[in-house]
Chains A and B, each alone.
Chain A
Amino acid sequence: MGRLAVIYREAGQFKATYARDQAIFPIVQDRVFVTTAVVAAFVVPPLAASEYWLQAVLIPFLIYALAAIGLNLLTGYAGQLSLGTGGFMAVGAYSAFKLATAFPQLNVIVVFVLSGVVAAAVGLLFGIPSLRIKGFYLAVATLASQFFLIWLFNKVAWFTNYASSGTITAPDRALFGALITGPNSTPSARYLTALGLVAVFALVAKNLVRGRVGRSWMAIRDRDIAAEIIGVRPLRTKLLAFGISSFYCGVAGAELVFLYLGSAETLAFDIGISFLVLFMVIIGGRGSILGSFLGAAFIVLVPIVLSNAPHAVGLRLPVALQKQIELMVFGGLILLFLIVEPHGLARLWQITKEKLRLWPFPH
Chain B
Amino acid sequence: MTMRTVSIAVLAALAITAPMLAAAQPKEVFIPLLVYRTGPYAPSGIPIADGFVDYFALLNERDGGINGVRVAWEECETQYDNKAGVECYERLKGKSPVLVNPYSTAITYSLIPKAPVDRVVVFSMGYGMSAASDGRWFPWVFNFPTNYWSQASAVIRYVGQQEGGVEKLKGKKIAHIFHNSAYGKEANPTLEELAKKYQFELTLLAVDHPGQEQKATWLQVRRLNPDWIFMSGWGVMNQVAIKEASSVGFKMDHLIGNWWSANDSDVVPAGDGAKGYKGATFHAPGSAFKVHAEILKHVYDKGKGTGRKEDMGAPLYNRGVVNAMLSAEAIRTAMTKFGNKPLTGEQVRWGFENLNLTEQRLEQVGMKGFTHPVRVTCEDHEGSGPVLIQQWDGKKWNVVSDWIAPMRDVVRPKIETAAVDEAKKLGYTMRDCAKEK
Contacts and interface: CB of A to CB of B under 8 A. Distances in A.
A183 B426 contact: yes
A164 B79 contact: no
B59 to A, nearest CB: 20
For chain A, give the interface size range: 35 or more
Contacts of A311: 20
Main secondary structure of the interface of A (DSSP, over half): helix
Interface stretch (A47-55, A117-125, A230-238): A47-55
Max chain B Cβ within 10 angstroms of own Cβ: one of A165, A172, A183, A348: A165
A53 B19 CA distance: 12
Contact of B188 (A164, A260, A266): A164
Interface residues of B, number: 56
A40 B426 CA distance: 33
Given A55-B90, A318-B37, A267 B181 contact: yes
Interface stretch (A81-89, A240-248, A319-327): A319-327
Nearest to B45: A320
B110 A182 contact: no
A183 B206 contact: no
Contacts of A260: 83, 86
B77 A320 contact: yes
B216 interface: no
Contact of A312 (B16, B35, B82): B16
B105 A165 contact: yes
B20 A261 contact: no
Interface string A302-327: 00110111011100001110111000
Contacts, number: 140
Nearest to B42: A320
Contacts of B38: 320, 323-324
Contacts of A255: none
A53 B14 CA distance: 11
B180 A154 contact: yes
A296 B250 CA distance: 48
B427 A172 contact: yes
A340 B418 contact: no
B3 A352 contact: yes
Interface in B1-53: 2-3, 6, 13, 16-17, 19-22, 35, 37-38, 42, 46
B21 A50 contact: yes
Contacts of B185: 164-166
Nearest to A318: B37
Interface of A: 50-53, 55-56, 60, 101, 154, 163-167, 169, 171-172, 182-184, 260-268, 270, 304-305, 307-309, 311-313, 318-320, 322-324, 340-341, 348-349, 352
26 contacts: A51-B93, A52-B21, A52-B90, A52-B91, A52-B94, A56-B90, A60-B87, A164-B188, A165-B129, A166-B181, A172-B427, A182-B427, A183-B114, A183-B426, A261-B83, A262-B86, A263-B109, A263-B110, A264-B106, A307-B77, A308-B17, A311-B20, A319-B75, A322-B77, A348-B2, A348-B6
Task: Return the 6 tightest CB-CB contacts between A and B, nearest first.
Answer: A183-B113, A320-B37, A312-B16, A56-B90, A165-B182, A305-B13
Given A164-B131, A169-B109, A320-B77, 6 more contacts: A53-B21, A164-B189, A262-B113, A267-B81, A268-B83, A323-B77
